[in-house]
């Protein structure tokens, strides 16, 4: 075998060194590329904001307060106890608002006291969200007493009602109003502190066109301290409301009308939560009974536990507290908010899964000594404040009569917002700090126009001697809201 000579070995060595040098140079270039920032070039996909075709704006007012008959033979009959005072607001101011009564065949006093009402405008007369209505009523009977206020709401195919109770001394009525021209087939599913309630009679309920049906929650799900009601409909859409009233001993202790809470989400905001007196119950006492302390109700509709952080922030911007809870799937939790000073709060909730929520407050307990006068409380009331959805850039609010109506705006963004509030033609500015909240006194019966409120959360509250109520300022439903379209 012939051995390579020295010249061949030298040539092979040179070639190997050249290969190694090339590999080393490539590795150095790659390392340098990893260390040196590359120029960025991002292109936003083309999109177009589309306003849906103009449609007829429509809202439904729930109608007068109802009470179940005392006669055992007619215990399922819900009769009205007087008339509600309703107002409307529309922009532009000259647009015509049509009012159409909804039949209430189950109410024997409907002819005298009135019924739910549909308010509407013709297609093209007003923009989305620029029609509003609201109502209020004071009750003072042997079985029902207090002040209730509610916004007139859109009819929806799905509604979450987070309020009420059906245990001893508590009554909850589910009001279903169908403003459409076709019958609605409605399923009412009730979930309580122990889980879903089997109520076959609540499925497939027919609500005829232009008609209200009233269901007693006790007839569907008795002895619940913490119900959440999930209403779905096919055919016609319905406006669902829950009426919650309390009797302690022989004394009526409050009434409230509560509409839809914000749909399940991982982040929820409850603006304008009003605490009327110092005190509360430790959040660790998740089985606390009664209505006389601030609490938040939560339900996670999924199949897994949801960890939720509850932030209770005063509107003044100073202080606040945080409560961490774990929601068990399929069960409703009422969580006391601890000892709070009297005042206005925003409740911000963040979870690692979707949930619905609302908060409850009261003005006191019958027979307790008033901290202001030292005398026994003559009357008390309760209110539910529901989670709301972020507003569009402009909105309008109808303000019915009641004690000290107050507008609340909450800002969860990182920059302050400046909103213009026009009350009866008088424009005022509200600066809402980043992560903060503000409030403003309103005038009853005066339409309130909001501008520059995009992304903010709104509510209206009322408070007086033995009177308390709240309703949300909700944006229009998705069918009437602008849509961002990304062409293919």
Number of domains the chain contains: 1
Other beta carbons less than 10 A from residue 173's beta carbon:
22
Distance of alpha carbon 285 from its chain centroid, rounded?
A: 25
Residue at 34 is within a domain: no
Residue at 257 is within a domain: yes
In angstroms, the CA 177 to CA 116 distance is 7
The structure tokens 């449609």 sit at: 55
Residue at 388 is within a domain: yes
pLDDT in tens, 358-370: 999 998 765 554 5
Other beta carbons less than 10 A from residue 97's beta carbon:
18
Contact 470, 274 (CB under 8 A): yes
Q: Which helix (H) or strand (E) holds 411?
A: none
Residue at 40 is within a domain: no
Other beta carbons less than 10 A from residue 253's beta carbon:
27
The structure tokens 């609605």 sit at: 184
Residue at 74 is within a domain: yes
Give the domain range for residue 478: 55-485
Residue at 467 is within a domain: yes
Could you give the 3-state DSSP secondary structure of residue 16? helix
Local confidence pLDDT in tens for the 488 residues of the chain: 444 454 444 444 445 444 444 445 444 444 444 444 444 445 556 655 555 555 679 999 999 999 987 554 455 689 999 999 999 999 998 899 999 999 999 999 999 999 999 999 998 889 988 999 999 999 999 889 999 999 999 999 999 999 999 999 999 999 999 999 999 999 999 999 999 999 999 999 999 999 999 999 999 999 999 999 999 999 999 999 999 999 988 889 999 999 999 999 999 999 999 999 999 998 887 667 888 899 999 999 999 999 999 999 999 877 889 999 999 999 999 999 999 999 999 999 999 999 999 999 998 765 554 555 554 445 789 999 999 999 999 999 999 999 999 999 999 999 999 999 999 889 999 999 999 999 999 999 999 999 999 999 999 999 999 999 999 999 998 655 555 555 55
Closest CA relative to residue 243, chosen from 66, 82, 112: 66
What is the pLDDT, as a whole number, of residue 257?
98
Residue at 248 is within a domain: yes
Closest CA relative to residue 436, chosen from 348, 340, 310, 339: 348
Could you give the 3-state DSSP secondary structure of residue 138? strand
Residue at 420 is within a domain: yes
Could you give the 3-state DSSP secondary structure of residue 476? coil
What is the pLDDT, as a whole number, of residue 251?
87
């Amino acid at each position: 075998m012939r051995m390579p000579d020295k010249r061949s070995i030298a040539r092979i060595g040179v070639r190997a060194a050249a290969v190694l040098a090339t590999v080393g140079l490539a590795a150095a270039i790659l390392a340098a590329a990893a260390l040196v920032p590359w120029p960025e070039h991002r292109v936003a996909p083309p999109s177009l904001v589309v306003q849906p075709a103009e449609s007829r704006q429509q809202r439904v007012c729930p109608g007068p307060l109802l009470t179940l008959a005392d006669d055992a033979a007619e215990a399922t009959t819900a009769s009205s106890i007087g008339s509600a005072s309703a107002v409307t607001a529309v922009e532009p101011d000259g647009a015509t608002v049509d009012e159409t009564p909804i039949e209430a065949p189950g109410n024997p006093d409907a002819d005298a006291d009135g019924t739910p009402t549909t308010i509407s405008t013709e297609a093209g007369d007003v923009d989305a969200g620029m029609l509003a209505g609201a109502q209020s009523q004071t009750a003072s009977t042997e079985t029902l007493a207090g002040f209730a206020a509610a916004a007139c709401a859109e009819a929806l195919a799905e509604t979450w009602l987070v309020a009420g109770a059906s245990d001893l001394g508590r009554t909850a009525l589910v009001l279903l109003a169908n403003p459409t021209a076709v019958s609605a087939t409605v399923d009412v599913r009730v979930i309580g502190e122990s889980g879903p309630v089997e109520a076959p009679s609540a499925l497939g309920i027919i609500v005829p066109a232009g008609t209200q049906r009233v269901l007693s929650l006790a007839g569907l799900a008795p002895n619940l301290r913490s119900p959440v009601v999930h209403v779905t409909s096919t055919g016609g859409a319905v406006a669902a409301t829950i009426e919650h009233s309390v009797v302690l001993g022989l004394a009526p202790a409050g009434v409230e009308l509560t509409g839809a809470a914000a749909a399940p989400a991982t982040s929820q905001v409850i603006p304008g939560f009003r605490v009327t007196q110092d005190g509360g119950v430790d959040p660790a006492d998740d089985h606390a009974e009664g209505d006389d302390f601030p609490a938040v109700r939560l339900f996670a509709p999924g199949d897994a536990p949801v960890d939720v952080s509850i932030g209770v922030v005063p509107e003044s911007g100073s202080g606040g507290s945080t409560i961490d809870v774990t929601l068990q799937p399929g069960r409703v939790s009422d969580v006391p908010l601890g000892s709070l000073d009297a005042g206005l709060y925003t409740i911000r909730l963040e979870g690692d899964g979707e949930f619905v929520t609302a908060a409850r407050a009261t003005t006191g307990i019958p027979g307790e000594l008033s901290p202001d006068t030292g005398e026994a409380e003559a009357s008390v009331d309760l209110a539910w404040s529901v989670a709301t959805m972020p507003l569009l850039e402009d909105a309008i609010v109808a303000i019915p009569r009641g004690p000290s109506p107050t507008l609340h705006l909450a800002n969860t963004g990182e920059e302050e917002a400046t909103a213009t509030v026009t009350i009866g033609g008088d424009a005022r500015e509200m600066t809402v700090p980043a992560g903060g909240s503000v409030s403003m006194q309103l005038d009853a019966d005066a339409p309130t126009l909001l501008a520059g409120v995009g992304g903010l959360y709104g509510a209206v509250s009322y408070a007086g001697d033995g009177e308390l109520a709240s309703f949300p300022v909700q944006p229009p439903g998705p069918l009437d809201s602008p849509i961002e379209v990304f062409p293919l």
